Structure 1
Amino acid sequence: MYPTILCEKPKQALTYGQCYDYVKHKDYIEIKPCSTFPKGAKIVWAIGHLAELAPPEKYKEEWKTWTLDTLPMIPDNFQYVISKDKASHFKSVKKHLQDSDEIIISTDPGREGEAIARTLILLSGCSKKPLKRFWCSSMTPNAVRKAFDNLKDARDYTSLFQEAQARAYSDWLIGMNTSRAYTLLMQKKGVKEVFSTGRCQTPLLCLIHQREEEINNFKPERYWEIQGSFSAHEQKYNGKLQNDNQNRFKDKNKAQELVNQLKQGHPYISKVETKTQKNRPPKLHNLSSLQAKINRKYKISPSDVLRTVQSLYDQSLCSYPRTEYQFLPIDEARQLPEILENLSTLEPYKKLIMSKNHEQITDDKHFVDDSKVGDHYALIVTEKVPDLSKLSKEEQLVYDEIARSVIAAHYNDHVYNQTTLITKIEEHEFKSTGKQILDNGWKVVWQDDHNQDDKEDNQQLPKVEENQNVSLIDLLLKEGITKAPKPYSEGQLITLMKTAGRVGQDSEELDSKDLNKYGSLGTEATRSGIIEGLKARKYIIVKKNIVETTFKGKMLVKAVSNTILSSAELTAKWEMYLQKIGEGEKPAKAFIDSSKKLSQKLVEQAIKSSYEWKFDDMVQQIQQEGQIGKCPSCGKAVLARKKFYGCSGYKEGCKFIFSNEYLGKKISETNAKKLLEKGKTGLIKGLKGKNSTFDAYIIFRDKKQGSLTLEFPARKKTTSR
């Protein structure tokens, strides 16, 4: 007999197989006998979630129909189903698991990976077989072989499966019941939409809407500041008047009176203070910090960042991506000199690595601390050197950010002298600040990204002494206006979830003690998926990286207000409890039982509050949302749907419809509007023919039915000489 290695994905299985003498078969990989596997081994894979929680109708026939009378739906025992398109593959995996004498769980090292493997093992009837756990945060051959030589007892990870299971059961209970309740109650108000709700997605939606309300309710106010220009030793410098009201005056006349008064005064230096400041290099990345930064720099969505860094991990180019930690254990930190040496063979990093200040950072608690890592550690590049030209553009950007964070950790602090001058006229103080960089340190690694300091803080200040008289050049009134909070970018939603809305939108370096105390929304692995869920359900839209709630989203926020579903704080506490389950400190059953009771309460709350809902104005707005033009057949609104554009009068018999994809290219809403208004789209590049791609306009073949055809651009005339 032989062990069977259960992986999460085909690519992962192949990576493991390539570390040994192997043969690839149709539905498994065979490892030949070797020192690690004396009898050989077979590798099988799951293709993600082969098994999923059963839908309501699998439990009771009456649950198939959406009615308030059947709510809440609470199964006695949760069941799993295998989707039809994956049934044959599951049958193959099941047979290999049953034929083995030992199962090595080798799915991704985390909650979801554990859940995928354990569920398949249970459904295959193999839970009583000996189980081992392969646990490795790197996909390089050396790391893989080392981990297989040091397999762990799978029982040590049972609590992770229990956490994932409790999370899935709770999400099913709350999501299924409240989604049906709110959808049915909204229908009574005339809204023919499905309102999906969830334990994490709905509180996030409420936080986004809360920021929009702050912006909408904001009332700008004018203010005036007094700016002074002074001179010492023939060198000019600027200072700002300090007072108790944020250095601002609300009354322009009073400010002007003071300016006139101070112009008669004699300025002198009342204080000179120079402090040496040190900025440590940024912490190493976890998934959230990487998603937030990449989104800010390149406007790449968090879900695409996760997909990209997962691809780098699958190629053995970086450590495990779904990590919440920003520290390294000492053993991993000891590998960094070799990693940097290999990285120095790549042109973008060669000079940076040659000029670094430290060979080792094992003694630097800012980066290396065994007590601040768990089963995973910070995101770092591996010793494998990529061919950058073969990486996609997004892979290059993400790899570059991770690589530079590792390089920067080996540089000195950014050191500068911060000088503060206080110039007095009578009893009034003008503050001037300036910087003198002593050691640029790690900032050379990101030359353009970390040099956005305020120009006023970087002015060259004259050398002066206390009580020294200086010359007054001018005093000016500077008018300003208070600004509303900014709407969230897509990347800021990651930080918003990580802090459950408690920390400002620009905060990145978060205190882990605070996070442990207050909790978060979702996990590193699920946050980008939660955002994608809000987008897919048309609760939010993202335009130029800025997030907006739709009328549908606003309607749901209004409906769930003052319920637990709207509370990010309570959801964060649930996440803390779930984390304790994963750590083996709390029982999963208690959480599941509480979720059952909560489902009952939430349904009752929804029904009770629905009598006070007033959505008449929103109903009309939500019906208009998504309209892209008038139907050329009947004149009613054409709506954008998931896979097509169609007439809203379909119930009255109008058959106008056309696909949002044609010859391999998406027809954007902008082009769909042009098609309806002007009869043709803009020029679309890259349409796919039989043997080539080409550029053309899309036009209607039959405007009444919505059938499409092409119009080719006119060829440019050439003149002969």
Structure 2
Amino acid sequence: MKLIIAEKPSQAQALAGPFSKVKKLKGYYEIPPQEFFPEGAYLTWCVGHLLELVPPKDYKPEWEKWKLETLPMMPDRFRYKVSPSKWDQFQTIKKLAFEPGVTEIIGATDAGREGELIYKSLLLNMNCRKPVKRLWISSLTKKAVLDGFKNLKEGQETLPVFFEAYSRACADWLVGLNTTRAYTLLMQKKGIRETFPTGRVMTPTVALVVKREHEIEKFKPEPFFEVIGSFDVNGKKYSGKWHDKSSSRLKTKDLAEEIKRRTENQFSSVNSIKKERKEYHPPMLFNLSALQAKANQVYKYSPERTLNITSDLYLKKVVSYPRSDSPYITEEEAKMMPGILKQLGDLEEYKHLLPSPKRSLIGNPRFVNAAKVSDHYAIIPTENVANPAKLSRDERNIYDLIVRSVIAAHYDKAIMDTTTIVTKVNERDEFISKGKVIIQEGWRKVLFENKKKEAKKEDDENTLLPDLTEADKGRVENVAIREGKTQPPKRYTLGSLVTLMKTAGKTIEDEELSKVLEQVQGLGTEATRSSIIKKIEELDYIRVEKNQVFATEKAKGLIAAIGEESILTSAETTAVWEQRLREIGRGKADAKQFMELTRKMTEKVISDAIAGAASWKVENIPLSKTAEPIGKCPYCGKEIIYIKRNDFYGCSGYKEGCKFSISGKIARKKLSAAQVKRLLEKGETTKLKGFKSKQGKPFAAALTLNKETGKIEFKM
């Protein structure tokens, strides 16, 4: 008999779907004997990460209190423990794993480093030494699941991916916990009563936003003037912008007026005509970062919202695995595309776009390249084609983006002619006119359809110019002066911040998304970037207004203290770490060596912080505002107060070392002071509505206070 371990209940349900006569029991499914499981199988699930790295106090009692003299904390060996709220499910899995009839374990968590960490750390913690196989799939359709069970990997084959995930978790513990304590304690000596969480990926991301904030603050707008001439050449009319060799912008109005006076009502001649033909290939397929950036651009969805929606579509088996970092597919997926396009062509939304000019992508290296597919291929629709009318609005929007990217890949390239005309007035002043003409629409028909904003932008850029020849003579009909001001750097949007993390801080203006999708060293991974952005917003390092990202005073104070040249704020250094982790996952780098470098880096950051703290200027960080006491701390008896700025209820005895706190928002539900007061007094709230799971599904539960762990738990 075999034991299959999935990552979450919904995934387990999808994996059970293709099999017959499956019986659902408490905490697992029972699959009776059949083709893939001659002796039957148990199919159970984790609830995300069942295990967590133990806190500092579990290594050494003196590490419980926050003190500079105990830093850096360097465990000899990192240990995991079961999350208290997930103990029951852990016991269910453990009982099944040690059933005498179970002879093999199949890891069926998400095919990636976090999925690998979830089930392998679980087996290690249980000291389960039974043979292990690995299910590695990118889709939950019946065909993908059955093919996956037919072609299981050996457990040893994906062991490097586990080392990658384990190294990442331990490195984040070392850097995050040590530097958070160091900067928080040093800030307290400056009179700032705040917690300053820092991290290997989080802090460089905050630094990028702060850097842009400073650029905007320091920017001083300068006026400029442009001279626009309108010309008539034998009845053919067009306009152009005056320019010299360096620029078309003039610093003074007097100079613009002078140009206007000497060119108005004068003779003109066409000095040169240059035509350039450009070809534009279809954009590459979506990986997660590109999809998040596009969805934010078009629908203003936050990166997290896009990931949640796409994950729901994945669980509905209509798109492939969402946390992909590759914009490529293999030939196997390319072979399935004609069938998928045929089904899409039967839908009202896409029948006018299909059949496409190209029936197959096989042999097209722009999209099909197995060497550039790592854990997962690009995000594409599966053979279970969805009727958009049966999806929610959000699901329909994301599904449409994914579908159109695939249809566009089967279209011809777009071809445009760009014409540049230089008109001379009195053989002295030159005016430039530019225009574009679409020669072949190609894939643009698919992606620019019904996009009014894009259409207007295209109209502005595609000015039609008359058919002229060099040396044509004419007159200046009118000359106008246009006044403007230089603009500060643009604020990052949530979508462009994801792209910025992907490119390790290298900004790409007006980027063609396909160019960003190449595998590059970046901050975080496809799976973590949206959660990092959400976290720095919750920590009050950024605020988001109308999709624009602002750095807070708290963030500016922290980065000023750390320093823009610090290893901790360096996007490039963090990107190199991420690349090294990827190499560990491919068996090309040593995990022990990586951890040793991380230890040395942590020591240096802390010693630099202590040495430089005397020169910090942090007066601009506003103190947290506190409300009236809510109740008594269950550990030290001091008052619990609401810290509005960070949205949590904390113990006023923090200076004496008490770290008890309750988040002001749990599972996306805002807690009232009355609810927290009852929780403190009685150890349990009444049943509360309004919680949401990670998948966005609402649920109701009471909250209980586990006095042994200090954590808030759900009572369903």
TM-score by length of 2: 0.85
- What residue is the counterpart of 1:484 in the other structure? 488
Instruction: Give the number of aligned pairs.
Output: 648
Deviations 1:392-419 (A, max 9, x none): 3221111111111111111222223322
Compute the displacement of 1:184 (Å).
0.9
What is the distance in 2 between the residues matched to 1:452 and 1:570?
41
2:562 pairs with 1:560 = yes
Which of 572, 578, 583 is 1:580 aligned to? 583
Relative to structure 2, which stretch is displaced further, 220-229 or 231-240?
231-240
| Local SS of the residue matching 1:421 | strand
2:265 and 2:477 in contact (8 A); partners too: no
Measured in 1, the distance between the counterparts of 2:646 and 2:390 equals 33
Change (3 A) 1:213 1:280: same
Partner of 2:111: 109
In structure 2, distance between residues paired with 1:26 and 1:563 = 51
Q: Name the structure 1 match of 2:709.
A: none
Q: Deviations over 1:531-589 (max 9, x none)?
A: 11101211111111111122221211111113211111111111111111111110000
2:533 to 502, 509, 531: 531
| Separation in structure 2 between the aligned mates of residue 173 and residue 687 of structure 1, nearest angstrom | 35
2:14 aligned residue: 15
Q: Give the superposition deviation at 1:647.
A: 14
Q: Return the alpha-carbon distance in structure 2 between the equivalents of residues 660 and 78 of structure 1.
A: 30
Which residue of 2 is the match for residue 436 of structure 1?
437
Instruction: State the percentage of identical aligned residues.
Output: 42
Answer yes or no: is 1:276 the counterpart of 2:280: no
- What pairs with 1:662-673 in structure 2 (closer than 5 Å)? none
- Which residue in 2 is equivalent to 1:338? 339
Q: Distance in 2 between matches of 1:311 and 1:551?
A: 36
Q: Tell me which amino acid in the other structure corresponds to 2:530.
A: S
Q: Please show how residues 245-394 of structure 1 align to structure 2 within 5 Å.
A: 245-263=246-264, 265-354=266-355, 356-394=356-394
Q: How far apart, in 1, do the equivalents of 2:7 and 2:375 lie?
A: 18
CA contact (8 A) 1:329 1:373 kept: yes
Query: CA–CA distance in 2 between the matches of 1:146 and 1:316?
Result: 15
Shift of 1:17: 0.9
CA distance in 2, matches of 1:430, 1:627: 65
Other-structure match for 2:658 = none
Residues 26-425 of structure 1 correspond to what in structure 2 (within 5 A)?
26-99=26-99, 100-126=102-128, 128-263=129-264, 265-354=266-355, 356-425=356-425
- 1:488, 1:505 within 8 Å by CA — same for their partners in 2? no
Q: Which amino acid aligns with 1:578?
A: L
Distance 1:601 1:406 in 2: 48
Q: Distance in 2 between matches of 1:515 and 1:90?
A: 37
Give the 3-state SS of the residue equivalent to 1:351 in structure 2. Answer: coil
| Structure 1 residue aligned with 2:710 | none
What amino acid is the match of 1:482?
A: T
Q: Secondary structure at the match of 1:496?
A: helix
Equivalent position of 1:571 in the other structure: 574
The correspondence for 2:465, drawn from 461, 465, 481, is 461
What is the root-mean-square deviation in Å for CA atoms of aligned residues?
A: 2.9
Counterpart contact for 1:98–1:124, Cα < 8 Å: no
Opposite residue 312 of structure 1, the aligned amino acid is L
Counterpart Cα distance in 2 of 1:375 and 1:73:
34
Residues of 1 paired with 2:345 and 2:158: CA distance? Answer: 38
CA deviation vs aligned residue, 1:576-607 (integer Å, no higher than 9, x gap): 11111111110000011111122211111111
- Whether the aligned pair in 1 keeps the contact of 2:325 and 2:519 (CA below 8 Å) is no
- Contact 1:360–1:410 (Cα < 8 Å) also in 2: yes
**CA offset at residue 25 of structure 1?**
1.4
Q: TM-score, normalised by structure 1?
A: 0.85
Letter in 1 for 2:576: K
Q: 1:506 to 1:528 in 2, by over 3 A?
A: farther
* Conservation of the 8 A alpha-carbon contact between 1:495 and 1:505: no
Residue 665 of structure 1: how far off its partner (Å):
8.7
Tell me how far 1:143 sits from its aligned partner: 1.1
Equivalent residues in 2 for 1:491-530, closer than 5 Å: 491-504=495-508, 506-509=510-513, 511=515, 516=520, 519-530=521-532
2:118 aligns to what SS in structure 1?
helix
Q: Contact 1:31–1:40 at 8 Å: present in 2 too?
A: yes
- With over 3 angstroms needed to count, the CA separation of the structure-2 counterparts of 1:295 and 1:106, relative to structure 1, is same
Cα-to-partner distance string for 1:201-233 (whole Å, 9 max, x where unaligned): 001101100001000101111111121111234
Counterpart-to-counterpart distance in 1, 2:109 and 2:690? 39
Q: Measure the CA separation in 2 of the matches of 1:394 and 1:641.
A: 31
Other structure's SS at 1:184 match = helix
- Quote how far apart the aligned CAs of 1:666 are: 6.2
Q: Any idea what SS the aligned residue of 1:237 has?
A: strand
Q: Distance in 2 between matches of 1:273 and 1:458?
A: 16
Letter aligned with residue 171 of structure 2: S
2:617 is the counterpart of 1:614 = yes
**Partner letter of residue 540 of structure 2?**
K
Which stretch of structure 1 is more off in the superposition, 385-394 or 15-24? 385-394
Which residue identity is paired with 1:564?
Answer: I
| TM superposition shift of 1:271 | 1.9
C-alpha contact (below 8 Å) 1:433/1:456 kept by paired residues: no
One-letter code aligned to 2:97: L
Partner of 1:654: none
State how 1:593-608 maps to structure 2 within 5 Å. Answer: 593-608=596-611
Kindly tell me: are residues 452 and 590 of structure 1, through their superposed partners in 2, closer, same or farther at Cα, counting changes over 3 Å? Answer: farther
Whole-angstrom distance in 2 between the partners of 1:378 and 1:181: 41
Deviation of 1:641 (Å): 6.0
Judge conservation of contact 1:496–1:505 (CA < 8 Å) in 2. Answer: no
Residues 50-103 of structure 1 deviation map (CA, whole Å, 9 limit, x = unaligned)? 001000011111111111111111101101011111111101111212232111
Distance 2:481 2:317 in 1: 59
User: Per-residue displacement from partner, 1:661-701 (whole Å, max 9, x unpaired)?
Assistant: 9xx99699xxxxxxxxxxxxxxxxx999xxxxxxxxxxxxx
